[in-house]
Structure 1
Amino acid sequence: MRKLVVIVLYFALVFKGNASVNPKTIMLVLGSADAAVLEERVAIAVRLYRTQPIQKIIVSGGCGAHGSGICEATAMRDGLIRGGVNDQKIYKEENAKTTVQNYVFSRVLRDESDQKIIQPGDTVFVVSNHWHAIAVAARLQEYDRVVGRFYIEGSITPKATDKLDYVGIFNGQPDNDKFVLRGSWLTPETCWSVGDSLYYLQNNMVYGTDKDNRSFSSKRAEDVLPFLNLLDASHSRAFIDGGKFWWVRHGDRLWKVEKDSKKVSDKLVWSNWITGMPEAWKKGAFNTGVLWNNTLLLFANEKILVARLEKKGFVFVKETTAAEYFRNWPFAWGKSNVASAMGDPSTGNLILYRNMERMAIDQNLQVIAPPVANKLKWIEDPK
């Protein structure tokens, strides 16, 4: 059978919604665990870049998906730069293992100023050599209020079971909160224990369960953590685990929140919190943090910040990557991209969560064992 040659030049879907004040044109390049396919998609993206005024580019794909030896986002970034693309325009999304996760993680990726890269009113070209780009572009437009366009070029042999709406990305789940939640279940933003119960915050829901996950409950996040309603919504939020409390960073604000009462006990200025903090950390987004053995660790997408606790507060020590700081860091976890972190009071170990997995590190900074899946029951109707 002859291969079907597909060339779809910036086909636009009809946008409905309010445009942003300064709309951008963005390219979202979808990754692949196959090196040859990845190279082809990069070449397609370079050709589109030469014909369109692209302001920002997201390359989406993690490390080691399906057992490959590729860090997809890094490979795509390097290929785009070789093709003449301005490296300052490229942002790496290094969590995604599937097309669903390309959407889930790219839509909330933030730039160096802690602003979402994809904003309502923007035009987003979803680039690939496969028709999965169509479904991703459609979902972005329907639920993220952008002008969705797909740019597909390549030779594909369809299978009898192939569907235009790849794995039901567009029509499979009309509730976008549920779609996003399930696409990364369970990847907590923070977690804590009360007696024998464990609680996980993910997106707009708190999931509670016993340690064996025999029973579970779900509640709206704002009902459990009412201070969430008061955070600066124009910036990301990051939970820093302090044991019996969290520090919650949002913009240039840092609130201390007691875990027992869930009440704010102190309000600080983020940019003044760590003596010697680099400027990039004062303005940029990071994912999570933890105070562990009198050392403060903050995790961003590709780097971590290390600070020591002194009598007058925290003092900056260094910026590095988790792959360099911890021993036997797994390749599939990239350089630093951790979703949440907490100290385990029973063992003294550091527990890290990332993209549906968790991993323990001992006090000698040694990864104890390879990451394991977070196999917690899925809630069909999350509150």
Structure 2
Amino acid sequence: MKKLFLFLLCGGFLLELGFAANPKTIMLVLGSADVDVLNERIAIAARLYRTQPIQKIIVSGGCGAHGSGICEATAMQEGLVRNGVESKKIYKEENAKTTVQNYVFSRILRDESDQQIIQPGDTVFVVSNHWHAIAVAARLQQYDAVVGRFYIEGNIVPKATDKLDYVGIFNAQPDNDKFVLRGSWLTPEACWSVGDSLYYLQNNMVYGTDKDNRSFSLQRAEDVLHSLNLLDAAHSRAFIDGGKFWWVRHGDSLWKVEKGSKKVSEKLVWSNWIAGMPDVWKKGAFNTGVLWNNTLLLFANEKILVARLEKKGFVFVKETTAAEYFGNWPFTWGKSNVAAAMGDSSTGNLTLYRNMERMAIDQDLQVIAPPVANKLKWIEDPK
């Protein structure tokens, strides 16, 4: 007779660290493309919420992972609210398609004030019905200076090949910068071309290559874009592509950086830049933007801002979602979550990058073809 093992795991890892003055208790709920599994994890998270003083909750899981028809983070948010959780406590991370990406994207998720949600000294409960939560909690503690705890409840049956360190999340790569980079390779936050060469900025590195990716070069980001060292480190940075330059937003500052010289040519006040800009965009984080056909598009996680270029500057037009603004927007790209955007002067098309993929949009605002993978040589491959 086949036996099922019902178990409840609640564990923690303690480490003496320099904790923040006001540490929080956070819940990180790992998604699943399987609806039944996802509902089970929602129920587990709701039960934990009733027993712990949880201040913020991250629900992590993308749209259409493994061919599913659900947006995991949205489904978890809605399910938790139905179970009595305050919606204002829940933050959606809707990029991740794997457990590794649950870690990669959740650790940098920001709130409505552009503050990183998971901070040193916080206690983070990683919630699931599977032991992959153990490895994620351990990695958060080891590399993100939090008190990492796992909360697992369920009736899964262990296999002979099952390992507690699920897919080597904790032990496979001791260099966390490299682990994070590999988990989202390649997802640039800015890109540009010089002659036949293409350059991509991701995290703290600039990756250069030819159009066929026959070879590549690596440089520290600060050695290429010297102004990065001078940005407001307390806030996120966002590159807005303007053609021959970027506007780089950080906090309430907006710097114009020339692509050719990489020098700052103008400094502006972010909150005054767009006439009529809603307060949520003045204070909150967004990922990237682009000036395309005299229209300014800013991409946040779940929405985009549209502004019109007039003689005296930019004027707010509307806030919408990418799925509503562009025709044929793919379900797997959610409502936005675009990481980088760049106009193509030769074709007039717009290229968008999101979670290891890219796609092109024509001047009629129609997606030209489904997203394609950014398959570029890894930084440790032979050059």
Structure 1-normalised TM-score? Answer: 0.99
Q: What's the CA shift string for 1:264-317, capped at 9, x where partnerless?
A: 000000000000000000000000000000000000000000000001000000
Taking the aligned partners of 2:222 and 2:6, their CA distance within structure 1 comes to 50
Taking the aligned partners of 1:378 and 1:74, their CA distance within structure 2 comes to 32
Runs of at least 5 residues in structure 2 that lack an aligned partner in the other structure: none
Cross-structure match for 2:158: 158
* AA at the equivalent of 1:187: T
Cross-structure match for 1:127: 127
Cross-structure match for 2:108: 108
Equivalent residue of 1:150, what SS?
A: strand
Taking the aligned partners of 2:350 and 2:318, their CA distance within structure 1 comes to 19
* AA at the equivalent of 1:58: I
Taking the aligned partners of 2:305 and 2:343, their CA distance within structure 1 comes to 17
Q: What's the CA shift string for 1:83-106, capped at 9, x where partnerless?
A: 000000000000000000000000
Q: What's the CA shift string for 1:307-361, capped at 9, x where partnerless?
A: 0000100000000000000000000000011000000111110000000000000
Equivalent residue of 1:156, what SS?
A: coil
Cross-structure match for 1:217: 217
Is residue 319 from structure 1 mapped to residue 319 from structure 2 by the alignment? yes
Cross-structure match for 1:3: 4
Q: What's the CA shift string for 1:5-28, capped at 9, x where partnerless?
A: 22013x110123210011000000
Equivalent residue of 1:332, what SS?
A: helix
How many residues align? The count is 381
Taking the aligned partners of 2:76 and 2:16, their CA distance within structure 1 comes to 31
Q: What's the CA shift string for 1:171-191, capped at 9, x where partnerless?
A: 000000000000000000000
Equivalent residue of 1:127, what SS?
A: strand
Taking the aligned partners of 1:207 and 1:150, their CA distance within structure 2 comes to 36
Q: How does 1:177-216 map to 2 (within 5 A)?
A: 177-216=177-216
Q: What's the CA shift string for 1:49-70, capped at 9, x where partnerless?
A: 0000000000000000000001
Q: What's the CA shift string for 1:25-58, capped at 9, x where partnerless?
A: 0000000000000000000000000000000000
Taking the aligned partners of 1:362 and 1:205, their CA distance within structure 2 comes to 30
Taking the aligned partners of 2:381 and 2:331, their CA distance within structure 1 comes to 35
Taking the aligned partners of 1:244 and 1:6, their CA distance within structure 2 comes to 58
Deviation at 1:381, TM superposition (A): 8.1
Taking the aligned partners of 1:50 and 1:204, their CA distance within structure 2 comes to 40
Taking the aligned partners of 2:140 and 2:381, their CA distance within structure 1 comes to 23
Taking the aligned partners of 1:187 and 1:350, their CA distance within structure 2 comes to 16
Q: How does 1:89-100 map to 2 (within 5 A)?
A: 89-100=89-100
Cross-structure match for 1:117: 117
Cross-structure match for 1:50: 50
Cross-structure match for 2:243: 243
Equivalent residue of 1:4, what SS?
A: coil
Cross-structure match for 1:36: 36
Is residue 71 from structure 1 mapped to residue 71 from structure 2 by the alignment? yes
Cross-structure match for 1:263: 263
* AA at the equivalent of 1:117: I
Taking the aligned partners of 2:112 and 2:301, their CA distance within structure 1 comes to 11
1:121/1:145 contact within 8 Å kept: yes
Taking the aligned partners of 1:18 and 1:250, their CA distance within structure 2 comes to 26
Taking the aligned partners of 1:270 and 1:160, their CA distance within structure 2 comes to 56
1:274/1:313 contact within 8 Å kept: yes
Taking the aligned partners of 1:340 and 1:116, their CA distance within structure 2 comes to 20
Equivalent residue of 1:45, what SS?
A: helix
Taking the aligned partners of 2:15 and 2:351, their CA distance within structure 1 comes to 43
* AA at the equivalent of 2:95: N
* AA at the equivalent of 2:320: T
1:15/1:148 contact within 8 Å kept: no
Equivalent residue of 2:6, what SS?
A: strand
1:16/1:145 contact within 8 Å kept: no
Cross-structure match for 2:336: 336
Taking the aligned partners of 2:214 and 2:346, their CA distance within structure 1 comes to 21
* AA at the equivalent of 1:7: L
* AA at the equivalent of 1:209: T
Deviation at 1:218, TM superposition (A): 0.6
Cross-structure match for 1:86: 86
Cross-structure match for 2:291: 291
Taking the aligned partners of 2:115 and 2:61, their CA distance within structure 1 comes to 20
